[in-house]
Amino acid sequence: MSKQHSDSSMNIFPARTHQSTPIEKITNLLSKYRTSVPSHIQRCVLLSTGSYNPCHRMHIETFHIIKKALESSHNMLVVGAFISPSHGQYVSSKLGEDYIETEARLEICKLSIEAETRKLKEIHGEDSVDDFLCVDRWESAVCREFIDFPDITYTLREYLEQQFPNENIQVIYICGSDHLEKCPYVLSFPTLLKCGAAILNRPSHSKSAASKQSSYKKTEHIYWIDTTMEDECSSTLVRKKAKAGETISQWVYPEVESYMRTHHIYFP
């Protein structure tokens, strides 16, 4: 974890811009709820990082689960969220020949977000669904090398403070409780980064994660969110099925499967 989290950290990394880290959806939702949601309700923006090689349904559904939980149980209003695919340097070294090029991973994330939003609006109505999730290109397409997720979280917080100086927006890093096995310092984000963390508990996650939850249950700006959603999908499974030429529609959106077939990503 980087130790360099001073006020000058924005000078260490390439600048974020509206092209790399779009804020239009945040602006729209802040405006939409300006008068209807009291100002004491904490506005927040979610962030998740990872390979997304490729992005699948569960990745996107997780954002919606956490949004619903924060708004219903933690007195918060989610005004935006970013899915930030990892730098190609890291993903290619990790996956080798299974690596999907950066622009393709970004496009698959975009298609997935659009498909889920469209589906929810068809079910619940146009005005009942917030269009809050975006792809953040900064980490994978702007930075010249791999950057660890604490720095991505911190620079996003600084960027949003610059873009919305009159708003009190909390950045919340989201991950599964299994992630704490490798990166327990996520639980220190409120102190080290002045950011929150939302931890998604699934039934399959370990007793060690449950122990951490017990120890940190009342820590301010750490949000534990239980779900019955099992680990029924993984990028590894999607890759395996696609390589075998099988349909992957159970795990990815139709637009994603079509894109992967058209561009011969794993499919013969």
Pairwise CA distance, residues 87 & 248, whole Å:
25
Q: Which residue has the higher pLDDT, 189 or 180?
A: 189
Residue 202 scores a pLDDT above 50: yes
In this prediction the pTM is 0.92
Q: How confident is the model at residue 266 (pLDDT cuts 50, 70, 90)?
A: very high
H or E element, residue 174: strand 169-176
Pairwise CA distance, residues 13 & 11, whole Å:
6
Q: What is the phi/psi pair of residue 235, to 5°?
A: -65, -35
Give alpha helix (H) positions in the chain: 24-32, 57-73, 88-95, 102-124, 149-163, 179-182, 189-192, 207-216, 235-243, 254-262
Q: How confident is the model at residue 12 (pLDDT cuts 50, 70, 90)?
A: confident
Bridge partners, residue 80, by sequence? 45
Q: Nearest CA to 139 among 178, 67, 85? A: 85
pLDDT of residue 6: 42
What residue segments make up the domains of the chain, in order of their start? 18-230
Pairwise CA distance, residues 215 & 229, whole Å:
24
Query: Using one digit for the tens of pLDDT, what is the confidence trace for 184-199?
Result: 999 999 999 999 999 9
Residue 4 scores a pLDDT above 70: no
Over residues 86-109, the mean pLDDT reads 98
Q: How many Cβ atoms from other residues are within 10 Å of residue 70's Cβ? A: 22
Pairwise CA distance, residues 105 & 246, whole Å:
20
Query: Using one digit for the tens of pLDDT, what is the confidence trace for 227-264?
Result: 876 667 899 999 999 999 999 999 999 999 999 999 99
**Which residue reads 């096995």 in tokens?**
181
> Would the CA dihedral through 177, 182, 188, 194 be positive or negative?
negative
- The two structure tokens encoding residue 244: 């075998």
Q: Which residues contact 160 (CB under 8 A, 6 or more apart)?
A: 23, 26, 45, 169, 171
10: helix, coil or strand?
Answer: helix
The per-residue DSSP string of 129-144 comes to: S---EEE--IIIIISS
Question: Alpha carbon 40 to chain centroid distance?
Answer: 25
Pairwise CA distance, residues 3 & 21, whole Å:
24
**From the candidate CATH numbers 3.40.50.800, 3.30.230.70, 3.40.50.620, 3.40.50.2030, the one assigned to the domain spanning 18-230:** 3.40.50.620
Mean pLDDT check: name the lowest of 112-126, 162-176, 196-210.
196-210
Residue 64 scores a pLDDT above 50: yes
Question: Alpha carbon 129 to chain centroid distance?
Answer: 18
H or E element, residue 222: strand 222-226
Q: What is the phi/psi pair of residue 84, to 5°?
A: -115, 95
**Are the CB atoms for 135 and 114 separated by under 8 Å?**
no
Q: How confident is the model at residue 181 (pLDDT cuts 50, 70, 90)?
A: confident
Pairwise CA distance, residues 113 & 132, whole Å:
10
Amino acid at 17: T
pLDDT of residue 226: 87
Q: Is 178 left (phi over 0), alpha (psi -120 to 50) or beta?
A: alpha
